[in-house]
């Protein structure tokens, strides 16, 4: 397993093939991408045991979208989770995470790993399952699961290394209404409190890095202390974890392990900027992966929209990777239609993020093509330019095959102005 | 008609009853609200001929949401438009605009004016209808319609006074792909070009102010030059109109006429800040009413989400009033379900805007109540705290009457942590 363990080092001296392929897919300069990987500002999660398409995540790259799938104790239908994963990819999801907690975990993981995208997991879920309860998970059990996931071909692992004694003390010193809302974070706290031990991912972080370096797997430093409510956003546990994660991010780089960072959570819109900038600062600008941020708690059923607002703004400040939030967030395990709606809305937020982050030449042509199609009232061309043609076509078609749309009919401003300027001999066009 | 024409002046010397009522509804200090009205930083659109509930719009007030309804030449069902207006109010819309262009315009307007909210119109639509075409609309016709709308009880009028020769020259000098996408703006340009005359709303602005002062009706200075595509956002016509509108806003204040400003349009997320701040600066911080901004053109069918992202960010920078955008924007006249979806999503953006603009004491208690309900896993209380209970209840109920939710089941982090800290004797709670 020599190929991946050294991707960071290889990028210091040249441009590996995987980086060339990733750069081509991104439309960016391969040498710049190699420098960004070498500096830890971009990760490319590809387990060398399988061949997921290279999906660079970080500075200069498109904002990527991950979609979570997975069984729960209440709804456990492996076939359905595979269908959800396929539906997500059909909507343009860039990566998948399998967060299953019930059923034949390994079998489902292997099925999801056959799909053409980088796949992530949260090994502590399976450790709890194997041990029977969080209190029964010891370091051996946890590291065994981590190794198994690497061997199965998982490309990135969410590991809650920042949930340590210091974080627990911060949580007690400055309590929060929602306590801890990260499932992985909660498992680790339960292990720590009930066993009276430090989190093994923290205590044996160097050993963890050895495994990941051997396996060429990316670590995603989980945000077990992310606030679970707007009113919890300014409590100490969150920033304590930022600092811990920042130290661990440096150690991962030193060990040649690609790492990214997971960030909040539930925070008010006005606090996104300094949170993102703080995380970027303390982690030497590691790629940042966000769930949300959710910028209000008052809109269950519409959390996909709330997360899109928070996510787009987070991208303004440097977030790189958005986790899909579905309309069923906080309410239920998503159904396929929730996955589709959530993925579309998150991808729209990611594209809006791209308009902030990427050179104009990389996003403007498609926006320009849409404007030209609209000017021409060429509906098929509009649908081709659209991120999602089907919902647009369906709405437009419902009132018949119209030249304009049923909003304005003959009073269409675009049509009026086009005709007016054509009559006058002045092209209102570049 | 003495009551309203002097609201600005009355506020200079005291606190009119309407301002007291508005302040009570906002939870703000009546004297501060009176000062803001006197300074033109807040408007209260109430036609003295009817008794719409006072809805202050501007600095220090909640972000308000307007919903447009109205017939078109293709879909003309007056009863349906009244139903849409009622559905919008049921979703929390603060104001309504009747943008009808077909059917019995006056009859429909009068029906909408029976509803308990401020109502706005765009008189030039009816002027074109009466005259037969834009080219046949003269100043007399237009001012007659304006007076009729005032007499019918309309509370605010969108008038495209900034669409003048200067704007037309800017449009020609620095053309745009989409030309002009404002229907009212297009009518005025057609009048100007085809009649070879200045826009009467610009040429006879003082006369217009006399009518509005007499009638106590708010002017909403329309943005006929708003860009209709991201790639048109930096063209000259837009900023030329800002400057014109800024001058007119000062003249309106001098005449004691309450005024607000309408703003863009289609602009990239990163350009919202300076656009909002420029408009606020040149208009002496007049209340700002936005359609969008739409921050990508690639998401027809999801423009409600795109507008929510743009609108929430605009509120960060000072926008006061958001116009609902529905999923059918750019595609079709909205149906009732589009109005419901669009209004909910726009209201969510407005609430997120409030978290940026308003003192914490005015928005935090409900967020806190939701966090406490979530901690308690008290679903009914969560639905009560939610902006929209029904969609949330429907999603949660679909997997049965569960204590937790079907996402995590017994592995619910909130439950685990609550039990863990209770066992340990440490309340993870403030």
Whether residue A111 is found in the same domain as residue A190: yes
Q: Is residue A45 domain-resident? A: no
pLDDT in tens, B67-113: 999 999 999 999 999 999 999 999 999 999 999 999 999 999 999 99
Q: Is residue A236 domain-resident? A: yes
CB atoms under 10 Å from CB of B241, counted, come to 30
**Over chain A, what HEC string results?**
CHHHHCHHHHHHHCCCHHHHHHHHHHCCCHHHHHHHHHCCCEECCCCCCCCCCCCCEECCCCCEEEEEECCCCCCCCHHHHHHHHHHHHHCCCCEEEECCCCCCHHHHHHHHCCCCCCEEECHHHHHHHHHCCHHHCCHHHHHHHHHHHHHHCCCEEEECCCCCHHHHHHHHHCCCCCCCCCHHHHHHHHHHHHHCCCCHHHHCHHHHHHHHHHHCCEEEECCCCCCCCHHHCCCHHHHHHHHHHHHHHHHHHHCCCCEEEEECCECCHHHHHHHHHHHHHHCCCCCEEEECCECCCCCCCCHHHHHHHHHHHHHHHCCCEEECCCCCCCCCCCCHHHHHHHHHHHHHHHHHHHHHHCCHHHHHHHHHHHHHHHHCCCHHHHHHHCCCHHHHHHHHHCCCCCCCCCCCHHHCHHHHHHHHHHHHCCCCCC
Structural domain span for residue B370: 363-424
pTM of the model: 0.96
Q: B156: which strand partners?
A: B120, B218
Inter-chain residue contact A178 with B371, CB threshold 8 Å = yes
| CA–CA distance, A186 with B27 (Å, rounded to integer) | 39
Inter-chain residue contact B402 with A74, CB threshold 8 Å = yes
Which of B75, B428, B429 is the mutation pick for testing A, counting most A CBs within 10 A?
A: B428
Rg (CA), chain A: 23
Distance from CA of A371 to the nearest CA of B (A): 6
Q: Is residue B129 domain-resident? A: yes
Residues of B in contact with A80 (CB under 8 A): none
Minimum-distance CB partner of A175 among B193, B399, B428 = B428
Whether residue B171 is found in the same domain as residue B67: yes
Is the pLDDT reported for residue B163 higher than 80? yes
Is the pLDDT reported for residue B429 higher than 80? no
Residues of B in contact with A229 (CB under 8 A): 367-368, 370-371, 374
Is residue B310 helix, strand or coil? helix
Residues of B in contact with A349 (CB under 8 A): 309
Q: How many helices (H) and strands (E) does chain B have?
A: 20, 10
Is the pLDDT reported for residue B404 higher than 90? no
Beta pairing class for A321-323 and A288-291: parallel
Instruction: Write the CA distances from A242 to A164, A271, B72, integer angstroms.
Output: 12, 15, 55
pLDDT of residue A430: 38
Q: Is residue A18 domain-resident? A: no
Inter-chain residue contact A296 with B396, CB threshold 8 Å = no
pLDDT in tens, B174-192: 999 999 999 999 999 999 9
Q: Which of A318, A336, A358 is the last residue of a domain?
A: A358
Closest chain B residue to A311, measured at CA: B309
| CA–CA distance, A3 with B391 (Å, rounded to integer) | 49
Beta pairing class for B42-43 and B57-58: antiparallel
Nearest to B178 by CA among B60, B266, B303: B266
Contact status, residue B19 vs residue B25, Cβ threshold 8 Å: no
The angle subtended at Cα A381 by Cα A379 and Cα A387, nearest 5°, is 100
pLDDT in tens, B350-387: 999 999 999 999 999 999 999 999 999 999 999 999 99
Residues of A in contact with B411 (CB under 8 A): 72-73, 101, 125, 128, 183
| CA–CA distance, B249 with B212 (Å, rounded to integer) | 13
In a 13 Å sphere around the CA of A94, the CA atoms on its Cβ side amount to 26
Residues of B in contact with A388 (CB under 8 A): 299, 301-302
CB atoms under 10 Å from CB of A387, counted, come to 21
pLDDT of residue B403: 86
Cβ contacts of A150 within 8 Å, gap of 6 or more: A47, A49, A157, A211, A212, A215, A217
Tokens of B93: 């819309």
Q: Is residue B52 domain-resident? A: no
Burial readout A94-108 (b: 16 or more C-beta within 10 A, e: otherwise): bbbbbbbbbbebeeb
Is residue B64 helix, strand or coil? strand
pLDDT in tens, B188-208: 999 999 999 999 999 999 999
Burial readout A347-382 (b: 16 or more C-beta within 10 A, e: otherwise): bbbbbbbbbbbbeeebbbebbbbbbbbbbebebeeb
pLDDT of residue A51: 82
| CA–CA distance, A223 with A245 (Å, rounded to integer) | 9
Rg (CA), chain B: 23
Whether residue A349 is found in the same domain as residue A379: no
Instruction: Write the CA distances from A19 to A4, A10, A34, A48, integer angstroms.
Output: 12, 10, 6, 14
- The complex's ipTM works out to 0.96
pLDDT in tens, B258-292: 999 999 899 999 999 999 999 999 999 999 999 99
Inter-chain residue contact B186 with A416, CB threshold 8 Å = yes
Burial readout B326-342 (b: 16 or more C-beta within 10 A, e: otherwise): bbbbbbbbbbeebbbbb
Whether residue B316 is found in the same domain as residue B413: no
Number of domains in chain B: 2
Residues of B in contact with A193 (CB under 8 A): 420, 424
Inter-chain residue contact A374 with B313, CB threshold 8 Å = no
Q: What are phi and psi of B263, to 5 degrees?
A: -130, 175
Tokens of B287: 């209340």
pLDDT of residue B3: 44
Q: Where does the pLDDT of residue B427 fall: very low under 50, low under 70, confident under 90, or very high at 90 and above?
A: very low
Whether residue A242 is found in the same domain as residue A296: yes
Q: What is the CATH number of the domain that holds A263?
A: 3.20.20.540
With 0-12 / 13-18 / 19 or more C-beta atoms within 10 angstroms meaning exposed / middle / buried, residue A203 is middle
Contact status, residue A328 vs residue A339, Cβ threshold 8 Å: no
Whether residue B285 is found in the same domain as residue B382: no
Whether residue B258 is found in the same domain as residue B212: yes
Whether residue B335 is found in the same domain as residue B248: yes
Q: Where does the pLDDT of residue B51 fall: very low under 50, low under 70, confident under 90, or very high at 90 and above?
A: confident
Minimum-distance CB partner of A181 among B356, B399, B413 = B413
Contact status, residue A19 vs residue A9, Cβ threshold 8 Å: no
Closest chain A residue to B331, measured at CA: A396
| CA–CA distance, A311 with A306 (Å, rounded to integer) | 8
Inter-chain residue contact B332 with A297, CB threshold 8 Å = no
Inter-chain residue contact A345 with B371, CB threshold 8 Å = no
Whether residue A287 is found in the same domain as residue A383: no
H helix or E strand, kind and range, residue B323: strand B321-323
Q: Is residue B231 domain-resident? A: yes
Q: Is residue B326 left, alpha or beta, with left meaning phi > 0 and alpha meaning psi from -120 to 50? A: beta
pLDDT in tens, B238-249: 999 999 999 999
Residues of A in contact with B327 (CB under 8 A): 391, 395
Minimum-distance CB partner of A309 among B125, B331, B349 = B349
Question: One digit per residue, pLDDT tens: chain A, 430 residues?
Answer: 444 447 999 999 999 999 999 999 899 999 999 999 999 999 999 999 998 999 999 999 999 999 999 999 999 999 999 999 999 999 999 999 999 999 999 999 999 999 999 999 999 999 999 999 999 999 999 999 999 999 999 999 999 999 999 999 999 999 999 999 999 999 999 999 999 999 999 999 999 999 999 999 999 999 999 999 999 999 999 999 999 999 999 999 999 999 999 998 999 999 999 999 999 999 999 999 999 999 999 999 999 999 999 999 999 999 999 999 999 999 999 999 999 999 999 999 999 999 999 999 999 999 999 999 999 999 999 999 999 999 999 999 999 888 888 988 889 999 999 888 876 655 444 3
Cβ contacts of A144 within 8 Å, gap of 6 or more: none
Minimum-distance CB partner of B367 among A297, A413, A428 = A297
Contact status, residue A404 vs residue A410, Cβ threshold 8 Å: yes
Tokens of A130: 């194997």
Whether residue A386 is found in the same domain as residue A309: no
pLDDT of residue A2: 45
Q: Is residue B148 domain-resident? A: yes
Whether residue B348 is found in the same domain as residue B206: yes
Inter-chain residue contact B72 with A395, CB threshold 8 Å = no
Tokens of A414: 């675009």
Q: Which of A332, A358, A384 is the last residue of a domain?
A: A358
pLDDT of residue A427: 45
In a 13 Å sphere around the CA of B153, the CA atoms on its Cβ side amount to 18
Whether residue A350 is found in the same domain as residue A222: yes
Q: Is residue A30 domain-resident? A: no
Minimum-distance CB partner of A298 among B366, B410, B414 = B366
Residues of A in contact with B368 (CB under 8 A): 177, 229, 231
Q: Which of A341, A358, A375 is the last residue of a domain?
A: A358
Cα B165 to the center of its chain, rounded Å: 27
């Amino acid at each position: 397993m020599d190929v991946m363990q050294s991707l960071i080092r290889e990028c210091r001296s040249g441009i590996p093939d995987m980086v060339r392929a990733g750069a081509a897919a991104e439309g960016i300069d391969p040498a710049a991408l190699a420098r960004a990987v070498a500096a830890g500002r971009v990760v490319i999660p590809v387990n060398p045991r399988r061949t997921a398409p290279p999906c660079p995540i970080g500075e200069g790259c498109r904002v990527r979208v991950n979609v979570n799938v997975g069984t729960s104790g209440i709804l456990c239908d492996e076939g359905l989770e595979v269908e959800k994963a396929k539906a997500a990819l059909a909507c343009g999801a860039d990566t998948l995470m399998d967060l299953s907690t019930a059923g034949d975990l390994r079998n489902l993981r292997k099925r999801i790993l056959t799909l053409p995208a980088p796949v992530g997991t949260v090994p502590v879920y399976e450790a709890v399952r194997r041990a029977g309860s969080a209190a029964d998970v010891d370091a051996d059990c946890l590291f065994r699961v981590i190794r198994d996931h690497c061997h199965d071909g998982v490309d990135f692992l969410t590991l809650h290394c920042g949930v340590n004694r210091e974080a627990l003390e911060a949580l007690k010193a400055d309590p929060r209404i929602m306590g801890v809302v990260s499932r992985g974070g909660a498992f680790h706290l339960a292990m720590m409190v009930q066993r009276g031990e430090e989190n093994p991912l923290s205590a044996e972080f160097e050993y963890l890095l050895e495994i990941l370096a051997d396996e060429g797997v990316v670590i995603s430093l989980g945000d077990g202390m992310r606030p679970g409510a707007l009113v919890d956003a300014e409590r100490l546990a969150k920033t304590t974890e930022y600092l811990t994660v920042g130290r661990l991010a440096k150690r991962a780089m030193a060990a040649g392990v690609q790492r990214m960072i997971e960030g909040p959570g539930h925070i008010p819109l006005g606090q996104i900027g300094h949170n993102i900038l703080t995380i970027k600062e303390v982690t030497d600008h590691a790629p940042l992966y966000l769930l949300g941020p959710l910028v209000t708690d008052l809109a269950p059923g519409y959390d996909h929209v709330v997360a899109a607002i928070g996510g787009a703004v987070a991208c303004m400040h440097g977030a790189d990777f958005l986790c899909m939030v579905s309309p069923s967030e906080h309410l239920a395990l998503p159904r396929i239609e929730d996955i589709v709606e959530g993925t579309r809305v998150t991808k729209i937020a990611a594209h809006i993020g791209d308009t902030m982050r990427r050179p104009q030449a990389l996003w403007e042509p498609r926006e320009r093509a849409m404007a030209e199609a609209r000017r021409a009232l060429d509906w098929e061309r509009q649908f081709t330019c659209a991120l999602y043609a089907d919902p647009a076509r369906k709405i437009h078609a419902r009132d018949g095959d119209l030249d304009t749309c049923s909003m304005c009919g003959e009073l269409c401003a675009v049509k009026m102005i086009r005709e007016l300027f054509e009559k006058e001999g002045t092209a209102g066009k570049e």
